[in-house]
Structure formats: C-alpha cells, structure tokens
C-alpha cells in the first residue's frame, strides 16, 4: 500500500507522521517479514515518570506489562471495535482529544478481551499516534512500548504487517527526540529504518523511510555523533538516488 503525500507535507514531522497513521491504521493482520526485535538498549539520559527506572521501563509499569503483554484474554469480554473505529475516524478528522477519549473509554475492554494479542497492540498504536499528535510524548511512549512488545511476542502468522512495526518505532523515535533522549531516539529510528528496508515492496512509502533517516541525522548531530550522522546522511542520499 503506497501513501499519497506531498513534499510540503513531509516538511512537518507531525503532518508526515499523521499521513503514515492514515495508511497503517486500516491495514489487516498479515505475515510479518524481516521484523526481529533487537536487544533493548537503555541510557542514563532516559528518565520518565517512574522513579528509579530507565529506558523503556521508565514509561511502563510492571503491572501494565503483566496486563497488556502477558495477560490472558477473557473470552467473555467483547473487543471494543466501535471505539477502535471511531478513534480512527476522529484521528483522521484531526479531532485528537475526541479520539483519545473514545479510545481510552474502550481501553479496559480492549485489554481484557485481547491481552497479549495483536489486536490489542494495534489498539495501543492508535492511542500512541493520538497522544503523539497531542504532544503527550511520555504517555505516547507507554502505548508504543506496550504495542511493540505485544507485536514481537507473536508467532509470525499472527503478527501485523511491517507498516504497524514501522509506525510504532517511528513515533517512539520522534517522542524520544522531542524529550531530548537521543540514544533512545536513535535506537527507535534505526529500528524503523530496518523495518522499512526489509519490508515487501510497496508496503512502506520510501518518503517515510527517508523521513526517519532525516530525523536520525538530526538526532545524531544533537547527540554529538558527527561520524554516525555523516554515515546516515550518505545512506539517506543512496535511498534518494534509488528513487529518482
């Protein structure tokens, strides 16, 4: 699935991220190719709402990991499909606060009905995207982290298509960058780039692949890594040349 976008739209990171959301939020579950989670990295710079925890654990509690990622679905509870759909409609209409409300209203049912399953991961990505647009970066990270952990634990046939992974890592990278946590931003942006590079042709628009390189270059410069930034710039140029 190719994304329709303009060059001017890509100048604004938020606008570009929203266009990616437009495409990815409607994709069905399918076979994932080339997505293997690297070992997690932590940084002394990574700090969040949870005292004494670093890296990803700064934004997610043990109780949330137990319920969202390792919980057992309750077949007696129905997945909140109406909230899931309405959340997308509000998101695409740029009604971010309405989207957040309707998604959070259905979150408890989503967790109970689909704990540890791809559907809950997708629900979390939708909420992550909305919170990102509202500049609630720490909370957005929580749901991005939970979603990615759910996605990566699935057997291949139950994983979503690569664009969902790309969406998660890209938005987490942007959140970390806004928070000034550059090592973690680098990690997530590189994951997004790797997913884009290995995805089947046409699933991820190359302009979003390029956007992640652009933000990676900026992140590396801000983190005082000029050599790595130069290399990323060269890789981005090679990508651009490939699509001339």
Pick the range with the lowest mean pLDDT from 54-58, 88-92, 193-197: 54-58
Fold entry, domain 9-242: 1.25.40
Q: What is the DSSP letter of 125?
A: H
Residue range 159-167: average pLDDT? 93
Percent of the chain topping pLDDT 90: 72
Pick the range with the lowest mean pLDDT from 25-29, 58-62, 73-77, 81-85: 25-29
Element (H, E) at 126: helix 118-133
**What is the predicted pLDDT for the residue at 49?**
52
Report the Cα 179 to chain-centroid distance in Å: 16
How many Å apart are CA 139 and CA 97, to the nearest integer?
14
**What is the predicted pLDDT for the residue at 158?**
84
pLDDT averaged over the chain? 84
Q: Answer for the pair 172, 41: CB distance below 8 angstroms, yes or no.
A: no
Domain extents in the chain: 9-242
pTM above 0.85, yes or no: no
Task: Pick left, alpha or beta for residue 135 (phi over 0 → left; psi -120 to 50 → alpha; otherwise beta).
Answer: left
Alpha helices by DSSP H, 134-161: 137-153
Q: Residue 180 — very low, low, confident or very high, per pLDDT cuts 50/70/90?
A: very high
Residue range 190-209: average pLDDT? 94
For 112-141, how does the pLDDT look when each residue is reduced to its tens digit (9 = 90+)? 999 999 999 999 999 999 999 999 999 999
For 28-55, how does the pLDDT look when each residue is reduced to its tens digit (9 = 90+)? 333 333 344 444 333 333 334 555 576 7
Burial group, residue 235, by CB count within 10 angstroms (0-12, 13-18, 19+): middle
Residue 93: which of 21, 165, 2 has the closest Cα? 21
Element (H, E) at 173: helix 162-178
Greater confidence, 34 or 18?
Answer: 18
Helix, strand or coil, per DSSP, at residue 46 = coil
Q: Answer for the pair 195, 168: CB distance below 8 angstroms, yes or no.
A: no
**What is the predicted pLDDT for the residue at 99?**
98
CA distances from 244 to 81, 101, 233, 238, 241 (A): 41, 43, 17, 10, 5
C-alpha torsion sign, points 108, 113, 116, 121: negative
pLDDT at 244 over 90: no
pLDDT at 17 over 90: no
């Amino acid at each position: 699935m190719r994304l329709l976008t303009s060059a001017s739209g890509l100048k604004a990171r938020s606008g570009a991220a929203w266009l990616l959301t437009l495409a990815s939020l409607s994709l069905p579950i399918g076979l994932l190719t080339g997505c293997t989670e690297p070992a997690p990295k932590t940084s002394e710079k990574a700090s969040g709402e949870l005292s004494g925890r670093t890296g990803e654990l700064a934004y997610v509690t043990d109780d949330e990991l137990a319920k969202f990622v390792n919980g057992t679905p309750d077949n007696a509870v129905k997945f909140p499909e109406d909230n899931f759909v309405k959340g997308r409609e509000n998101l695409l209409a740029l009604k971010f606060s309405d989207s957040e409300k309707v998604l959070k209203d259905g979150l408890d049912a989503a967790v109970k009905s689909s704990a540890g399953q791809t559907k809950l991961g997708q629900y979390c990505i939708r909420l992550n995207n909305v919170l990102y647009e509202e500049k609630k970066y720490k909370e957005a990270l929580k749901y991005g982290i939970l979603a990615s952990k759910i996605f990566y634990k699935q057997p291949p046939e139950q994983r979503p298509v690569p664009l969902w992974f790309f969406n998660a890592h890209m938005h987490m990278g942007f959140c970390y960058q806004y928070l000034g946590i550059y090592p973690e931003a680098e990690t997530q942006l590189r994951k997004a780039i790797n997913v884009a590079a290995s995805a089947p042709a046409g699933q991820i628009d190359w302009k979003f692949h390029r956007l992640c390189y652009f933000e990676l270059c900026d992140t590396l410069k801000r983190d005082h890594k000029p050599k790595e930034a130069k290399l990323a710039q060269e890789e981005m140029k090679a990508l651009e040349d490939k699509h001339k």
